[in-house]
């Protein structure tokens, strides 16, 4: 009888230890996830501020803490892209897509890498995939229009560039290319309208940047 009692006590102790260990593991995982998100947000701030080296370090810390976070890999890809480390950028964009096939920003990044290498057909595929994921993705429409312009597919370029502006009037590059297109087509007034809008956007961006710098001083 006493033997059975001792066995029962031992079993209960093991169950308690097991439950305690499970709770401890879950707590540890939750803390790591929170720290990963903190590093991710820090990286975003550094990327936005133009300090790409610090952004890379922050994003690397984020993926080290949680390698399953597609957003962290995609963000790291953009930081490498900004440093012109294209091979590393490609690896991170592809890793993000492997974790989340619907990561439109990673598809956009892959498209730009192909575009920079003059692999225009592959760039079209990547930008098109981003648009399939989100038909209202202005940056992808702008990028696709830019590729079509490079391929001398002018009518298609105009459609995509105008769509990007319709979705986001801050797409300065779309205004620039449209101005070039209409200048070549012999419509200087229309070209000047798009060019003026582009300058207005750049002026607003400069004003916002100067305001932010004044606030941080």
Contacts of 20 (CB under 8 A, 6+ apart): none
- Domain count of the chain? 1
> How far apart (Å, rounded) are the C-alpha atoms in residues 191 and 20?
70
- 153 inside domain: yes
- Contact yes or no for 43/75 (Cβ under 8 A): yes
Task: Note the pLDDT of residue 1.
Answer: 56
- 38 inside domain: no
Q: What are phi and psi of 153, to 5 degrees?
A: -95, 75
> Both tokens of residue 13?
């102790």
- Contact yes or no for 102/131 (Cβ under 8 A): no
H or E stretch including 91?
helix 86-99
Task: Note the pLDDT of residue 155.
Answer: 97
> Both tokens of residue 6?
């001792």
- 150 inside domain: yes
Task: Note the pLDDT of residue 202.
Answer: 84
- 144 inside domain: yes
Task: Note the pLDDT of residue 29.
Answer: 72
Task: Note the pLDDT of residue 79.
Answer: 97
Task: Note the pLDDT of residue 15.
Answer: 54
- 7 inside domain: no
- 64 inside domain: no
- 93 inside domain: no
- 167 inside domain: yes
Among 160, 154, 161, 164, CA closest to 184 = 154
Domain that holds residue 201: 133-217
> How far apart (Å, rounded) are the C-alpha atoms in residues 70 and 80?
15
Query: Across the 217 residues of the chain, what is the mean pLDDT of every consecutive 10-residue run?
Result: 55 53 63 87 92 96 94 97 97 98 98 98 98 98 98 98 96 96 96 94 74 51
Task: Note the pLDDT of residue 18.
Answer: 53
Task: Note the pLDDT of residue 162.
Answer: 98
Write the CATH number for 202.
1.25.40.10
């Amino acid at each position: 009888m006493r033997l059975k009692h001792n066995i029962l006590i031992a079993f209960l102790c093991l169950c308690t230890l097991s439950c305690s260990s499970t709770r401890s593991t879950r707590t540890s995982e939750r803390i790591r996830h929170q720290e990963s998100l903190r590093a991710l947000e820090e990286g975003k701030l550094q990327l936005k501020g133009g300090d790409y080296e610090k952004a890379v370090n922050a994003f690397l810390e984020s993926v080290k803490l949680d390698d399953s976070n597609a957003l962290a890999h995609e963000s790291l890809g953009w930081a490498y892209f900004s440093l012109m480390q294209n091979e590393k950028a490609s690896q991170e964009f592809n890793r993000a897509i492997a974790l989340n096939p619907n990561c439109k920003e990673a598809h956009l990044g892959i498209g730009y890498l192909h575009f920079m290498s003059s692999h225009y057909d592959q760039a079209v595929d990547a930008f098109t995939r981003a648009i399939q994921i989100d038909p209202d993705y202005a940056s992808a429409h702008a990028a696709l229009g830019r590729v079509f312009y490079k391929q001398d597919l002018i009518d298609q370029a105009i459609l995509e560039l105008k769509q990007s502006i319709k979705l986001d009037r801050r797409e300065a590059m779309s205004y620039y290319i449209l101005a070039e297109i209409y200048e070549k087509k012999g419509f200087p007034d229309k070209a000047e309208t798009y060019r003026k809008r582009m300058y207005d956007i750049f002026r607003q961006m400069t004003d916002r940047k100067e305001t932010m710098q004044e606030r941080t001083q």
